[in-house]
Structure 1
């Protein structure tokens, strides 16, 4: 019998460059990002924020940009993160949608008359660029789903979506979320 694996987020190394006092390029920090957020009751489902900025970005400051991880990118900005999605069978039966998505502005976890095909379905006001780093996951939409494997990409454009990991291993996905206006579905999105 194999012992149950420890359920936690895998640390993500973050190297940040900048300039020293003489203007030469240098490494400012090299560490595991401490900016993590797990979802209530699921210690291995969550995100590690790596960088947040408004656009255009300001490269003249050296301060920390990720002190308060949230799901949405900053207004007029972007967030770069890695999301870890555990196998469905480890959490989905007891998943609390309100605890996970209640922090989204305007309660976008409440999807109105839309069919919730998967308890993780939600909507954000952003264009999300995703690259699967490890494992596989189904991107679940109102009308269908698509299996994504290591190296596959997804451009999620403000749609109602969720994630389904039907394997026995975690899936790691790198995301860049870009703040956006309302979707072409004509629905009002979060501010």
Structure 2
């Protein structure tokens, strides 16, 4: 999996804009070779975000969803789907436990795709590299670089049917559900 740079710009000690950080904190990266690589690039625990809070706000973020009232900004690299569907399900089930997945996928969800999941968030995601299928309960859409999706707290999955990794970048914002 590729490793991507992240630049954080803020005020230096003299109040001038400056690059304060150039890469994600290692504790904000989660990966399983052949299954996923993701980095939390930034996080907040409040809305609107408070830019006066010092330090790297992405440090140690491992959960899938943002804190209540917060936001996560992430990069997600997804390799081609695994040929062994049961192994794919098993690895992603383990990931769901690790990231404190709030809603466990049903057997019907997993039959649709091993990565099917749902969060209580508003997700705004753009395909940056490669191609990937956005899978919903009833639809599939092939996304290519420049395509974006807004996911409003519903089931979805990512299926990479190509022979190259795909990179998605997006923001997850805590949201209320009906």
Q: Tell me the TM-score normalised to structure 1 length.
A: 0.81
> What is the aligned partner in structure 2 of residue 61 from structure 1?
53
Q: Which one has the bigger strand percentage?
A: 1
Contact kept? 1:126, 1:180, Cα under 8 Å? yes
Q: Which runs of 5+ in 1 are unaligned?
A: 1-8, 185-191
1:61 Cα deviation (Å)?
2.5
| Aligned match of 1:51 | 42
Deviation at 1:116, TM superposition (A): 3.8
CA–CA distance in structure 2, aligned partners of residues 167 and 120 of structure 1: 16
Q: Give the alignment's Cα RMSD to 1 decimal.
A: 2.1
Q: Decide which structure has the larger Cα Rg and report it.
A: 1
Paired position in structure 2 for 1:130: 125
Aligned counterpart, 2:81: 88
Unaligned runs of 5+ in 2: none
The number of aligned residues is: 173
Does residue 1:120 correspond to 2:112, yes or no?
no
TM-score by length of 2: 0.87
Question: Aligned pair 1:171/2:162, yes or no?
Answer: no
Conservation of the 8 A alpha-carbon contact between 1:51 and 1:80 = yes
Q: Which protein has the bigger helix share?
A: 2
Q: Is the 8 A contact 1:11 1:32 kept in 2?
A: no
Asked if 2 retains the 8 angstrom alpha-carbon contact of 1:92 and 1:119, the reply is yes
Counterpart mapping for 1:5-154 below 5 A: 9-34=1-26, 35-39=28-32, 42-53=33-44, 54-69=46-61, 70-89=63-82, 92-95=85-88, 96=90, 97-103=92-98, 105=100, 107-111=102-106, 116-154=111-149
